[in-house]
Amino acid sequence: MAGILVIWFIAFTNYSSPREDTTAILIETSDVEHVKIGKTWWEIAWLFVSGMLKSIATAWGGYRLIIRGSRCLIDFLSRSSFARNMVENETMLFATTQNKTLVFKKIPTALPVVGEHLVVEDRPIDGDAPENAMRSYFPAFELDDPVTNSTICKVLESNAFNFAEGDLVCTYTHIAEYAYVPSSLLELSHKIQNPHSLDLGLFLGPLGMPGLTAWSGLYKIGRPKKGETIFVSSAAGAVGQPVGQIAKREGLTVIGSVGSDEKVDFVTKDLGFDAGFNYKNERPKDALPRLAPDGVDIYFENVGGDHLEAALPSMNTDERIAICGMISNYNIPADQQQGIKGLMELVSKSITMEGFLNTNPKFGPAYFAEHQEKLQKWIADGSVKAKLAVTEDIENASDGLIGMLVGKNFGKAVLKVR
C-alpha cells in the first residue's frame, strides 16, 4: 500500500538529531516509504565472514557502493573517514530527489497556521534521523526540522536481519515520502503482521500504540472483573475507544465522558458503552453520581483536572485508578495546573492509583502479542470497532494536524502521505 500512515500526538513532540555513528542511505526512489535500518557489529561480522568479503572490492567504487553496493558494508565502512566522506558527499545525489516533508518552521503563540508554522517542503533525504524520541514523554519539535511521529512504512532497503525489503514496519521517523531509520530506533520498530487484511490505519490506532496502551493499562492496573463498573474519560479518543469496548467484552458496565453530543451517541450506540455524558454540558461531578449510583470500580484516567476530582468520591473501596494521561494539563506550567481536591479518598477507601507508560516493559511489551492476536480478531469479526479520521496527501498534513488540535477530527487522526 503506497505511502505512510501517520498518527498525530495530542501535543507537539520534540527531538534533537545528532548524526548516528552507523550511517544508512536511501538508494532508490519509489512510491512507498523507505526505511533503512542499521546492524549491530556482530551481525556485520557474521555477514562479512559468510560471504561479504567480495564487497570490499566494490567499496572503493565510491558512490556506487552507497547506491548499489553491499548493504552490510555500508555500516561496516561508515566507521572510517573514507566512508564518512562518501556519506557526506552522497547527500548531494539526493538534493534533486522530490521528498515532500512536513517541517516545523516557526513557534506558534496560538494555534499553528498552515504555511507559516507548519510547511510542506521538498527536502533531501535526511541521514540525521531522529533520536529515540521516547526519552521523555512529550519532547518539543526543533525549529526548521522535519516533524516526527509514529508511521507505517514499507521497507525499500534494509541491512538488519529482522527487517527485509517489502516488509511493512511500524516505527518512529520523519513525516515524509522517504525516511531513514537508524539502529537506535530498532527497539521502537516492529513488523506489521496483518493476517486479517485490516486497514493499515488501524495499526496506528487500536492495533498500535494507543490500543496497546489501552490493553496493558486496563489489564495490568484495572484488572477488570465481570459485573464491575468502569469510568473512562476521553472515551471517544484513540485510547478510550478500545478501553471501553474491551471492558464491555469482559462484562463490565462502561461509562464514558466525551466532548460533544455526537460523541455521546458514538460511544453508546456504535461502541456499546452503557452510558456517556458530554462534559461541556454536564460537570463530571454531577454526571457520575447520576450514571453510577452504586459507585465506580475502575477509573481509566485520560483527562485529569475536574474528571479526576469527580471520580475520587465516586470510587468504591479497594478499587483501582489507571493514570494513562492528563490532557487537561498538557502544555500548562506545573505551577499553573489545576490542583486536585479530595485526595484523602485514596486513603479512606484504600484506592490504588497508578500511572504508567506504554513503553514500560511491564506494560506494552509484556502484553504486545496478546493484544495483537485478540484485538485483530475482534476487529475482523466486528465485535470491536474503530473510527479513523484520515487526511489524504502530505500536502494537507498541516491542515490535518491543526484539525486534530481544535477537535475537528472525529476518530483517530491519521495522515496518508500518498
Q: What does the domain layout of the chain look like in residue ranges?
A: 5-205+389-416, 209-355
User: How far apart are alpha carbons 156 and 118 in whole angstroms?
Assistant: 28
How far from 347 is each of 285, 314, 350, CA to CA, in Å? 20, 14, 5
Question: Which SS3 state, helix, strand or coil, does residue 168 take?
Answer: strand
Residues pairing with 300 in the sheet: 232, 322
pLDDT of residue 126: 57
User: How far apart are alpha carbons 6 and 170 in whole angstroms?
Assistant: 10
pLDDT of residue 7: 34
* Single-letter amino acid code for the residue at 378: W
User: How far apart are alpha carbons 58 and 77 in whole angstroms?
Assistant: 12
Cα 233-234-237 angle, rounded to 5 deg = 140
pLDDT of residue 128: 53
Determine the topology of domain 5-205+389-416 in CATH. Quinone Oxidoreductase; Chain A, domain 1 (3.90.180)
User: How far apart are alpha carbons 256 and 287 in whole angstroms?
Assistant: 10
Strands laid side by side in the 168-174 sheet: 190-191, 168-174, 148-154, 5-7, 412-416, 388-392
- Phi-psi bin for 335: left (phi > 0), alpha (psi -120 to 50), beta? alpha
Within 8 A by CB and 6+ apart from 63, the residues are 86, 89, 90, 93
Superfamily of domain 209-355: NAD(P)-binding Rossmann-like Domain (3.40.50.720)
**What are the grid coordinates assigned to 253, written together?**
458496565
pLDDT of residue 97: 55
User: How far apart are alpha carbons 176 and 97 in whole angstroms?
Assistant: 12
Q: Residue 396: which of 378, 410, 414 has the closest Cα?
A: 414
Q: Residue 183: which of 54, 31, 44, 88 has the closest Cα?
A: 44
**What are the grid coordinates assigned to 30, written together?**
519509489
Q: DSSP characters for 51-105? A: IITTHHHHHTTTHHHHHHS-HHHHHHHTTSHHHHHHHHHHGGGGTTS--EEEEE-
Unique residue bearing C-alpha cell 490493553: 215
**What are the grid coordinates assigned to 133, written together?**
524520541
**What are the grid coordinates assigned to 108, written together?**
506558534
Within 8 A by CB and 6+ apart from 12, the residues are 104, 138, 140, 141
Q: Dihedral of CA 36/40/41/42: which sign?
A: negative
How far from 201 is each of 104, 222, 403, CA to CA, in Å? 24, 27, 18
pLDDT of residue 28: 28
User: How far apart are alpha carbons 220 and 177 in whole angstroms?
Assistant: 38
User: How far apart are alpha carbons 231 and 290 in whole angstroms?
Assistant: 13
pLDDT of residue 297: 99
Question: Which SS3 state, helix, strand or coil, does residue 391 take?
Answer: strand
Q: Rg (Cα) of the chain, in Å, rounded?
A: 23
pLDDT of residue 123: 67
By CB atoms closer than 10 A (0-12, 13-18, 19+), residue 242 is buried
Q: For residue 351, how far is the Cα from the chain centroid?
A: 30
pLDDT tens series, the chain, 418 aa: 433 333 333 222 222 233 333 333 232 223 333 344 444 555 545 544 444 443 333 233 322 212 122 222 222 222 223 223 333 333 434 444 577 877 877 777 777 777 777 777 776 655 555 554 444 455 667 788 888 888 888 888 888 778 888 889 898 888 888 887 777 777 778 899 999 999 999 999 999 999 999 999 999 999 999 999 999 999 999 999 999 999 999 999 999 999 999 999 999 999 999 999 999 999 999 999 999 999 999 999 999 999 999 999 999 999 999 999 998 887 678 888 878 999 999 999 999 999 999 989 999 999 999 999 999 999 999 999 998 888 888 888 888 888 877 767 777 889 888 7
